Amino acid sequence: MILEKNNYDKNALKNKIVLITGGGGGIGIEASRAFAYMGAHVIIAEIDAGRGKQAQKLINAEDLNGIVDFFQIDITDERQIDKLYKYIMDKYTRLDVLINNAAIVPMGAIDTVSISDWDLSYAVNLRAPVLLTKKFISSMKDTGGIIVFVPSAAPTPYMSAYEIFKTAQMEFCNTLCEEIEGTGIITYSIAPGFVKTDTAVKAVEIVAFSLGITTEEFYKSLEELITDAEIAGVGYAVSVVMAKQYNGKEIMSYQVLMDSGLISNDKEKSNSMQTQVDFDNLSFLFKSLADVFFDQYQNWQKKKLFQKQFIFSDFKKQMGLPAENFKIQIEALQGQINNNEWGNFLDSKKMFIKWRCYYEHQIKLLQGYEKNAAQLRSDTKLLNSWIENLQEIIKIL
């Protein structure tokens, strides 16, 4: 196990009570094992009793620092969620971590997926995480806690009946984060990356066929996202250890392992890039963009209430995280490159792409509200210069 190989702290989550839905197989079993390695009491809440019991037996036989419990449940049933809540409170008195991992993946074109499959997908992929959050949140307000959501990678054709609720789950997480600020509860979304679990492999076969390409071609298009179940699952567990830094964010398992130093792909990448990249230029471009953002952020704070609310919520919608968290992320990158640590920076291509898209979106907004032609021209020019700088960074990464 990657945790063992790296001598990761076996007491990192000692006696924490962790509930993971759909923990009987795929990424969930790997996550349960990682939580148990770190000393947690893990409750696998799973509809498939055979899968759940087998996972419990397998992990407990490994004699790790924590222990796995199994609770059979259909999370679409509110009464069963009530029973699960009672079971956890009676046996453990509290819940520290909720991982909304269970999912179903109805496949097919929008006009062919039956409405009952849409309903079931809603029930498992969105309604259940909402129910579980509602059920446990008040107890967590007393003891503190962490609520984790598991989104998907990106909207994919022929997977609409799944993706739509995964995206909604992420938005739910974003709004929840704002509502629970200051309560001691932390929430974030973690995407595992693409893992060849049975469910994912079946989905790829159907999508590739529907798109008229081979599965190999499809996998090739996902190359950057493919990871193994262990990395994805360990990512869940390590993210909980580092939860404070991820509050309100949308992260990936792989990124968590890099942040924690468990994998160092980026260092190799940075070494191999060291020879080709003009780091002075990169640093200059980034600093100028960071200064632009810091200025904007300060100005936004001074806006009137309604306008301020619009800007911040629009930023979050476009960027997938609150402006405040983005600012922290930029400051952290700035600090790292000042120390000549380029690993995280070189791994932030997606963030720069989103940033560029955000300014492109601002140009569109500008066309709508700026009536003064000269002002419109000069603001558009300015935004375009920031887009060019971002594009230059993206090209290098």
Ligand X SMILES: NC(=O)c1ccc[n+]([C@@H]2O[C@H](COP(=O)([O-])OP(=O)(O)OC[C@H]3O[C@@H](n4cnc5c(N)ncnc54)[C@H](O)[C@@H]3O)[C@@H](O)[C@H]2O)c1
3-state secondary structure of 195: coil
Least distance in Å: CB of 229 to ligand X? 7
For ligand X, the closer of residues 187 and 199 by Cβ is: 199
- Pick from 2, 3, 16, 28 the residue near ligand X by CB under 6 A: 28
Binding mask 62-101 for ligand X (x = CB under 6 A): -----------xxxx------------------------x
* Residues with Cβ within 8 Å of residue 318, at least 6 apart in sequence: 354, 357, 358, 361
Starting at the edge strand found earlier in the chain, the sheet holding 17-21 runs 67-72, 41-46, 17-21, 97-100, 145-149, 185-191, 250-252
Query: Which residue in 2, 26, 88, 289 binds ligand X (CB under 6 A)?
Result: 26
Query: Does residue 42 belong to the site contacting ligand X (CB under 6 A)?
Result: no
Single residue of 2, 36, 95, 195 touching ligand X by CB under 6 A: 195
Q: CB 307 → ligand X: shortest distance, Å?
A: 36
H/E stretch holding 19: strand 17-21
Binding segment toward ligand X, per CB under 6 A, in 145-153, 174-182, 250-258, 380-388: 145-153
Could you count the other beta carbons within 10 Å of the beta carbon of residue 378?
Answer: 12
User: Measured from the CB of residue 225, what is the shortest distance to ligand X in angstroms?
Assistant: 8
DSSP 123: I
Q: Does 47 bind ligand X (CB under 6 A)?
A: yes
Q: Give the CA count within 13 Å in the CB-facing half-sphere of 111.
A: 0
- C-beta of 283: minimal distance to ligand X in Å? 34
How do strand 185-191 and strand 250-252 relate by DSSP bridges? parallel
Alpha-carbon gap, residue 105 to 202, rounded angstroms: 10
Could you tell me the smallest distance in angstroms from the CB atom of residue 201 to ligand X? 9
- Among candidates 38, 136, 45, which has minimal Cα distance to 94? 136
Q: Which residue lies nearest ligand X, judged by its C-beta?
A: 26
Residue 343 binds ligand X, judged by CB under 6 A: no
What are the φ/ψ torsions at residue 183 (nearest 5 degrees)?
-95, -10
Nearest distance from C-beta of residue 301 to ligand X, angstroms: 35
Within 10 angstroms of residue 173's Cβ, the number of other Cβ atoms is: 24
Part of the chain binding ligand X (CB under 6 A), chosen from 18-26, 252-260, 267-275, 281-289: 18-26
Site map 215..254 versus ligand X, x via CB under 6 A: ----------------------------------------
Interior/surface letters 71-93, b for 16+ CB within 10 angstroms, e for the rest: bbbebbeeebbeebbeebeeebe
Q: Which of 24, 66, 320, 322 is in the footprint of ligand X by CB under 6 A? A: 24
Strand partners, 189: 149, 250
34 binds ligand X (CB under 6 A): no
Q: Can you give the binding site for ligand X, defined by CB under 6 A?
A: 21-22, 24-28, 46-48, 51, 73-76, 101-104, 124, 150, 152-153, 191-192, 194-195, 197, 199-200
